[in-house]
Amino acid sequence: MTQILVVDDERQIQRALRTTLTAHGYDVETVGTGEAGVTGAERADLLLLDLGLPDIDGSQVIGRIREFSSLPIIVLSVRGGQGEKVRALDAGADDYLTKPFSMDELLARTRAALRRAQAPAAVQPIRRFGRLEVDLARHIVTSDGTSLKLTRREFELLSAFVTNPGTLLTHRWLLSRVWGSGRADVDALRHAVRALRTRLGDTAAAPTLITTEPGLGYRWIHEPGE
């Protein structure tokens, strides 16, 4: 059963979400603090997160979770300003709903987020970014129709980028995703990114595909189809 973690300090919201989500077949856990949300994320398939928490801000919760997990995060907040949404999405949230919201819309967005997380390659096995085409299913990368020869590590790194366009991918998250439990450090990651940029014809000084977030990680700056 799909596990959904609700992080919200309002008991009324907790009860309403638990009732609705449970009725639609989800296993629901509710917590009221950001620290409990970070801890509970390790056992969840999707997170519903309020930004105004009593201990730490929801954007901090997102950032800390993104250091070790790529689970879908949907923000549910009364903060409807554009700046708040941008900060939450840049921190790594997948979607944003402003309170009050309809349960039907929440359920639809939950289903969509879970579909993307559970089978991204099946939904869109070929990603196109201008002259670049990445076939995730067949492990083929072409630029202007010319095949590019990437190492296995370089392709895994590229796959992590193209399946998370616009999202800040932290050093720790990329190391976990690409190297797994193997021994690697940030220097190894930087070397791999440098090599991948060379293969793709990209540069750190004038990036068109991969941009560096100093001290944090990297971001794929194209959207599919651009």
Boundaries of every domain in the chain? 3-118, 122-220
Is the omega angle on the peptide bond into residue 100 within 30 degrees of 0, that is, cis? yes
CATH of domain 3-118: 3.40.50.2300
Indicate the pairing of strand 73-77 with strand 46-49.
parallel
Q: pLDDT at position 120, please?
A: 46
CATH class, domain 122-220, is: mainly alpha
Distance CA 36, CA 14 (A): 14
In the β-sheet with 146-148, what is the strand arrangement from edge to edge? 126-129, 132-135, 140-143, 146-148
pLDDT digits (tens, 9 = 90+) for 54-92: 999 999 999 999 888 889 999 998 877 777 877 888 788
Compute the distance between CA of residue 78 and CA of residue 99 in angstroms, rounded to an integer: 5
Q: Given this model, what pLDDT does residue 194 score?
A: 96
Contacts of 129 (CB under 8 A, 6+ apart): 162, 209, 222, 223, 224, 225, 226
| pLDDT at residue 223, rounded to an integer | 63
